[in-house]
Amino acid sequence: MELRNRVRYRLAANAVFTWESAQSSRLLGKGVTRDISLASAFVLTLTCPPVGTAVQLEIFLPPLLRGARSVRIKTEATVIRVEHSGEGEGFAVVGQGFSLLSGATQET
């Protein structure tokens, strides 16, 4: 049974995320999105935050035109699922939606 109520788009874009550990230290991870919607994303990475964790997620969307800058979007979201499968490891997040930031200054 499909529980998603939003369309997801396949998109491989660089992602950077941070979260607070149980010991209250800030942790950093990097990955690549597998898909994205208006308020959620799946990130392929070897560094998976635990389910229920709040993460700050930034995604660097590739430029649409040659010579243009990539676009950076950001959200605070909650990890709702972690997958360890033959296709790779990663996690799904859902939040209130993404905010558009100024053009990306660096790719991850």
Which pLDDT tens digit goes with each residue over 78-98? 999 999 987 789 999 999 999
Q: Is 11 exposed, middle or buried (0-12, 13-18, 19+ CB in 10 A)?
A: middle
Residue 9 near residue 103 (C-beta atoms within 8 A): no
In which band, very low, low, confident or very high, does the pLDDT at 66 lie, cut at 50, 70 and 90? confident
Domains and CATH numbers, the chain: 9-103 (2.30.110.10)
Residue 10 token pair: 């396949």
pLDDT score at 107:
46
Residue 40 in this model has a pLDDT that exceeds 90: yes
Give the whole-number percent of the chain exceeding pLDDT 90: 69
Under the phi-then-psi rule, with left for phi > 0, alpha for psi from -120 to 50, and beta for the rest, what region is 40? beta
Which helix (H) or strand (E) is 56 found in, with range?
A: strand 54-61
The C-alpha atoms of residue 94 and residue 41 are separated, in whole angstroms, by 7
